[in-house]
Amino acid sequence: MLFAMAMPRILNAVPMASGAGRALSEDDACGPTSEGTCAVSALQQMSRRDGRAAAAKEGKRATKSDEVVQAPEETDEEAVKREWVYDTDVIWKNWEHPYMFQWQNITVSDTPKWNAAFKAEAPIAMQFCPKWVSYYWPKVSFLSQEVRRRVKALPDEVTPQQREQLRHFTRVLGWLMCAGSLDPRNLASFGNSTARYFRKLASLPSSSLEVPTFMDDPYMVANKDNFTAPDSCTIWSIGTICDNGYLSESLMGNKAGSGEVCWDKVDFPSYAFSPLLFLPSFDKTRPKRLMNRAEHNHPEYLACQEKPLTNAHLDEYCPMHGKYPDGFWGQNWGKPPSYGSEAYNDILQCDRKIGMPDPEFPKCRPPGGLDAVDMGLIDASVPSSP
């Protein structure tokens, strides 16, 4: 017990004895004429040297320790997951009010039930993307490039007002893309009117975020009730509008920049869009047809673009170009472009200007099936067609 109590005093005395010995050596070097302060000065100098040496040694130890605990450099794959892939919270928020489940009252507030419903529906829904994109590619190509043209004209850092205007423009064009009745091709039900509207969009400068109306086309006004688009489609169309804009521009080749709509020179397919079990959607007047991978080839599109839209493109870009996590809802969501590639940087910059991903944009809104009045394309006071 006594030994334990004495130990601190013994230990404290050790460095003092050592320091004093070295100080005396320094004092001896002062010479016979040195003043009594020489020993004290030598002791102070020794203390400073010992302190610097200890600090240097500790610094080396700290540096070595930092190297050990330093986080490893981020891999390309990790960077893609961080920058490109949407967080599941954003996905859930965008789909908070899935119109197809309104009658079941399934919302994000009941995540297990909600996820189970979507996981059950996802395999069926996934069949739509390659079939839909290939069948409706003319308007996907045109409208996504109109958004892309305006995005490129904006500065890298957009103002809140510019973003708000850009989002409105993007929402309307995403809706137009999903409105099955609106197609610019020859022989389409509203082909002439749609092509005229597309020309108005094309005639506006890249700096303009104006959305033309349908009000100057009596035929469009009279048939406004035919122009609807499900919100679930616009979540896809808006979420991939930068991606499809990049792809469509790359396929244009030397035919880009002509300022022509062009797609009204291409005939609308003779068969109806039949994504599931030969069941036609939107158009009941054309015959149904099995839409297998061979049907995705449309050589007639080469009238308006230099390179073909291929199954390889559809496999990569459908259904979300890898923007949803792989395996989410039990599905593969396409393949992101290589990290740092031209496509990767270009599309990411476009998305950031629009402000995606964002839990509030585009966001599915009940009850779905928004029409031309909701989009502001037709005055709400215009009476419905008889």
Domain positions in the chain: 77-371
Q: What angle do CA 151, 141, 247 make, to 5 degrees?
A: 70
Other residues' Cβ atoms within 10 Å of the Cβ of residue 7: 10
In three-state secondary structure terms, 280 is: coil
CA distances from 140 to 234, 261, 330, 368, 386 (A): 12, 12, 27, 21, 31
Q: Are the beta carbons of 369 and 230 closer than 8 angstroms? A: yes
Please check the confidence at residue 56 and state whether its pLDDT lies above 70: no
Q: Are the beta carbons of 219 and 383 closer than 8 angstroms? A: no
Q: Are the beta carbons of 260 and 199 closer than 8 angstroms? A: no
- Site of tokens 């966001």: 363
Give the model's pLDDT for residue 70.
75
Phi-psi region of 363 (alpha: psi -120 to 50; beta: other; left: phi over 0): left
Higher pLDDT, 101 or 261: 261
Helix (H) or strand (E) holding 239: helix 231-239
Q: In this structure, what token pair is assigned to residue 79?
A: 């960077």
Q: Give the bridge partners for 385, in sequence order.
A: none
In three-state secondary structure terms, 149 is: helix
Helix (H) or strand (E) holding 371: strand 370-371
Binned at pLDDT 50, 70 and 90, residue 231 comes out as confident
Give the model's pLDDT for residue 282.
64
Percent of the chain with pLDDT over 90: 55
Q: Give the rounded distance of the alpha carbon of 74 from its chain centre.
A: 20
Q: In this structure, what token pair is assigned to residue 359?
A: 């839990």
Give the model's pLDDT for residue 123.
82
Give the model's pLDDT for residue 121.
81
Binned at pLDDT 50, 70 and 90, residue 226 comes out as confident
Question: Residue 108 is which amino acid?
Answer: V
Please check the confidence at residue 49 and state whether its pLDDT lies above 70: no
> Any idea which of 90-94, 118-122, 380-384 has the lowest mean pLDDT?
380-384
Q: What is the DSSP string of 13-68?
A: HHHHHHHHHHHHHHHHHH-TT--THHHHHHHHHHHHHHHHHHHHHHHHHHHHHHHH
Q: Give the rounded distance of the alpha carbon of 301 from its chain centre.
A: 28
Q: Write phi, then psi, for 113 (nearest 5 degrees).
A: -65, -40
Mean pLDDT of the 258-273 span: 86
Please check the confidence at residue 110 and state whether its pLDDT lies above 70: no
Whether the predicted model's global pTM rises above the 0.85 cut: no
Please check the confidence at residue 344 and state whether its pLDDT lies above 80: yes
Please check the confidence at residue 322 and state whether its pLDDT lies above 60: yes
Please check the confidence at residue 355 and state whether its pLDDT lies above 80: yes
How many whole angstroms separate alpha carbon 363 and alpha carbon 373? 19
